[in-house]
Amino acid sequence: MDEAGLAEFSARRPRLFALAYRMLGAAGEAEDVVQEAYLRWDGADRSEIRSAEAWLTTVVVNLCRSWLDSARARRESYAGPWLPEPVPTGRGELGPLETAEQRELISLAMLTLLERLSPVERAVFVLREAFGYAHGEIAELLGLTETNCQQLYHRARQRVRADRTRFEASPERARQLFERFLTAARTGDVVALERMFAADIVATADGGGKVNAARRPVVGPQRVAQYVAWLFTHDIPGLEVAVEEINGAPAAVARVGGVALLIGAIDATEAGVSAVRVLVNPDKLAYFQRVDGL
């Protein structure tokens, strides 16, 4: 590839990764999609491409839609609950996160909800909500009518927002609540944990059959408090736990010898903790581990 073509693609690579990750909820697969887009860009007659951004966006979205179609069958046979892959965001890895809305759109909670959408619904929702495309632009990118795009967006937004009715905590409140949660968890203070949990709290663990983890969601303040206390009070030699920004929110990263073994996050609302998510599947932590050392 000529230097101009390489420079043009390289300048867009971070945005393409951010798009693919929001579409897939899987960082490793998002990297693969971006690499495939690069190969197609390399083989294309770029003299016939009017807009590099539109062309590459279309390629990435269509690759993601195809991947999501095949992923549904794989996820049906997945061992235990499926959670998105965590991505560190303290250094702008997924683009600017200057507003609560931008942070919410890349949260583990939102990416989990997006799994309920069809691939085309997800594409329309992500392009509209996360990247601010107009319906006419989305229609052209996806080969749909503008009316169809509006209908798909309305349906997707309804399905997603129906389960996001809680009043989210401010970043300051979220961090304070998370630090209280982590302190109680690491000291095994079940009573303190119960007090900060919502009545309908659910804890979900993703071990993928690779690591021992709860195969079903744990429900209710008492059971979740006991589960979290058990999880965080394991006596593991050399264990270090740090609070870091993951997917736009504070999360616990547990390492031994610099290797991440667990990432734990919560949904923080003004009323308290409404959900706990724990990732221990080493496959899900592979991307985080790779970029963690950069």
**Chain segment 169-226, per-residue pLDDT in tens:** 778 888 899 999 999 999 999 999 999 999 999 999 999 888 888 889 999 999 999 9
The pTM (predicted TM-score) of the whole model is 0.93
Cα separation values, 199 from 174, 220, 221, Å: 18, 6, 6
* CATH code of the domain made up of 171-292: 3.10.450.50
pLDDT of res. 225: 97
Q: What per-residue confidence (pLDDT) applies to 12?
A: 94
For residues 11-26, average pLDDT: 95
Residue pair 97/253 in contact (Cβ under 8 Å)? The answer is: no
pLDDT tens per residue, range 207-219: 988 888 888 999 9
Q: Which of 283, 268, 231 is nearest to 82 (CA)?
A: 283
The CA-atom distances, in angstroms, between 130 and each of 10, 112, 125, 168, 233 are 21, 16, 8, 18, 38
111: left (phi over 0), alpha (psi -120 to 50) or beta: alpha
| pLDDT at residue 215, rounded to an integer | 85
- In this prediction, residues 258-271 reach a mean pLDDT of 91
Query: Which one-letter DSSP state was computed for residue 169?
Result: P
Confidence at residue 208, expressed as pLDDT on a 0 to 100 scale: 87
Give the 3-state secondary structure of residue 265.
Answer: strand
Q: Which helix (H) or strand (E) holds 162?
A: none
Please answer whether residues 180 and 161 qualify as being in contact, where contact means their C-beta atoms are separated by less than 8 angstroms: no
CA dist list (Å): 268 to 171, 196, 220, 221, 255: 9, 10, 16, 15, 24
Residue 166 pLDDT > 80: no
Q: Per residue in 118-163, pLDDT tens?
A: 999 999 999 999 999 999 999 999 999 999 999 999 999 998 887 6
Report whether 114 contacts 130 (CB < 8 A): no
Residue ranges of the chain assigned to CATH 3.10.450.50: 171-292
- State residue 1's pLDDT score: 63
Percent of the chain with pLDDT over 90: 69
33 in Cβ contact with 67 (< 8 Å): yes
Does the structure show a pLDDT above 90 at 69? Answer: no
2: tokens are 């000529």
- Is a pLDDT exceeding 70 seen at residue 165? no
CA distances from 243 to 88, 182, 238, 253 (A): 11, 9, 17, 6
